[in-house]
Structure 1
Amino acid sequence: MSAIPEQLKLLDDGRLWIEWSDGVQLVYPVRDLRDSSPDALTREKARLAAEKPSTELTILAPEELAPLRITGMQPIGRYAYQIQFSDGHDSGIYTYEYLYSLGKPLPPSD
């Protein structure tokens, strides 16, 4: 994969929009990005949840109750972005290849 992001913007509905160097335009629902974070803690939580679903209720912090949004994106060299979310999560490094794979085609109405 050799495509790199050429343009990025947050759409009015909060989704991330990226135009890639190969001309492809993809959108990213924020929840999908957050749930797909490549950091070790998120991966471990997903693994444990798949192995043994919990019947316990989770207590959420106030920032987790608010609508999830992207609060910042920092380039990491010329290969990735670190995305900061409104729930405080900021440890995932999204390589261009991984980010590209998570995108959804831009619907015709957008």
Structure 2
Amino acid sequence: MSAYPVGLSQPQPDRLLIEWSDGEKRLCTIKEMRENCPCATCREKHNAPPQPVNLKSLTILNDAQLQPLRIVSMRPLGNYAYNVSFSDGHDAGIFTFELLRVLGEKT
């Protein structure tokens, strides 16, 4: 891929705007990024069959999971990706430029 990010901003707390070297701009939600996390754990969860609902046991959410989803940090990895840390504690995703390029919508 010849295009690379030249600007990252959050015009709203739940959105990330990426400006690319070729002039394209893409706006994606933080939720969309989290749902498309490419780490092995997330890929495994996406491919797993749905778990049956057990009304006798409820999932207990921690404080971070009760808050709106946010990006805590984005660290560049070489010249090909960013490691993204989310407010729910998840920080294993390596978002390649190719993946970031297709998330969200052109603006």
Q: TM-score of the superposition, structure 1-length normalised? A: 0.87
Match of 1:25 in 2: 25
Match status 1:98 vs 2:99: yes
Match of 1:76 in 2: 77
Match of 2:2 in 1: 2
User: What RMSD, in angstroms, separates the aligned Cα atoms of the two structures?
Assistant: 1.3
Distance 2:46 2:62 in 1: 19
- Alignment match of 1:52 (pick from 42, 50, 64): 50
Distance 2:52 2:20 in 1: 39
Alignment partner of 1:11: what SS? coil
Match of 1:36 in 2: 36
Segments of structure 2 that go 5 or more residues without pairing to the other structure are none
Number of equivalenced pairs = 104
| Structure 1 residue 62, shift from structure 2 partner | 1.6
Distance 2:72 2:6 in 1: 20
Q: Moved runs in structure 1, 4+ residues, more than 3 A?
A: none
